[in-house]
Amino acid sequence: MAVILLIGLIGVAPPTHVRAYDTPDDGGGSIMVEWHLSQDDAILDGYEIYRSNDGDVYEKVGFIGRNRTRYEDSNTEDGENYFYKVVALKDTLKMYSQASQPVMSSPQWFDLPKLNILIACVIFGGLILYFVYHARKGKELYIRKIAGLQAIDDAVGRATEMGKPILYTTGTGLIGDIATIASLNILGEIAKKCARYDTQLINPHLDPIVYTVAREVVKESYTQVGRPDAFDPDSVYFITDLQFAYAAAVSGIMVREKPATNFLIGWFMAESLILAETGASTGAIQIAGTDRVPQLPFFITACDYTLIGEELYAASAYISKEPLLLGAIKGEDLGKLIIGAALIAGSIIGLLTKLPILNLFK
């Protein structure tokens, strides 16, 4: 009780050495305020931070608990001077510090703590450019063989020999899905093979935008191989935008048309098992691919070949042998190898520093 009465009579000690400065390595609009703790910090409720534009009229901009010496004011205007005071608060008692020197916020060009990310981007970008350059010079770049992609020529050839069509679906994804974009790239390469061998292509769609893009992709593929007259506009068409109505429609096409080969490549959800099982029941060769992990077990079980994860993204480079795509794949693979080696080395070093025997040498 005596301590409380004493505090009520003499107040509490204010914080000292208040310093305000522009927050480093940020995009502007932020000022950092620092101070030395009040001598009575142990009994305080916390600290209030006040700000002024002219050094006369202050307004409260924040509060922080005791035993804290830093506060970030993230609501400032760049290029405008600000003064700060920090107040020691105990119940209704307040003790103001001296005002800080004027300070203004401003954006910085670089976030120095993230310089390592910039260096990594430069290194990996250089690797990709290196491999693209050599690919364009005619150097053969090795890419690991993928069984599903090696089987594409056999699958198209089988359909040609049997006089049956090829069914290709990009799944139920939208044009913004990476798997859909990768699938459209593969569709373009398969359409070229269909054009060369005069094999019928069936390409039904769920999304109108994906349908429009796919139609142009297939048309361009026929033009590139010198067969624009062989392109059938009705081979690429829109069915419905309902998931299971689309699955039922594609399953019906499989049963009626009995395509020799089914390509199920793209973004899939629950309809994946319906399509894969229906295609398997018709005796077609099925090549599937998706980056949707929950759907991969269904494709692996019911399809002849399955592209798993990143194999889907590498497929267009693998099929087309385009130097730009090949260089990107090789550069990314080497980058992953470097990252993996760095992680392993860091783990070993961290483990060795924790071994008790090494403490004897400290």
Domain segments of the chain: what residues?
2-96, 141-321
The set of residues, in sequence order, having a beta carbon less than 8 Å from that of 14 and lying 6+ positions away, is 38, 86, 87, 88, 95, 96, 97
For residue 88, pLDDT over 80 is answered with yes
Secondary structure of the chain: what % helix, strand, coil (to 5)? 50, 20, 30
Confidence tier at 131 by pLDDT (50, 70, 90): confident
Model confidence over 5-50: pLDDT tens digits?
Answer: 344 445 689 999 999 999 998 888 999 999 999 999 999 999 999 9
pTM for the predicted model, two decimal places? 0.66
**Higher-confidence position of 149 and 219:** 219
Task: Write down the pLDDT at residue 74.
Answer: 92
Tell me the CATH number for domain 141-321. 3.40.50
Q: Of all residues in the chain, what percent carry a pLDDT higher than 70?
A: 95
Task: Write down the pLDDT at residue 219.
Answer: 95
Task: List helix spans (H) across 54-98.
Answer: none
- Was domain 2-96 assigned CATH 2.60.40.10? yes
Task: Write down the pLDDT at residue 50.
Answer: 96
Mean pLDDT of 63-73: 93
**CA nearest to 236, candidates 263, 257, 215, 254:** 215
Do 141-321 and 2-96 have the same topology in CATH? no
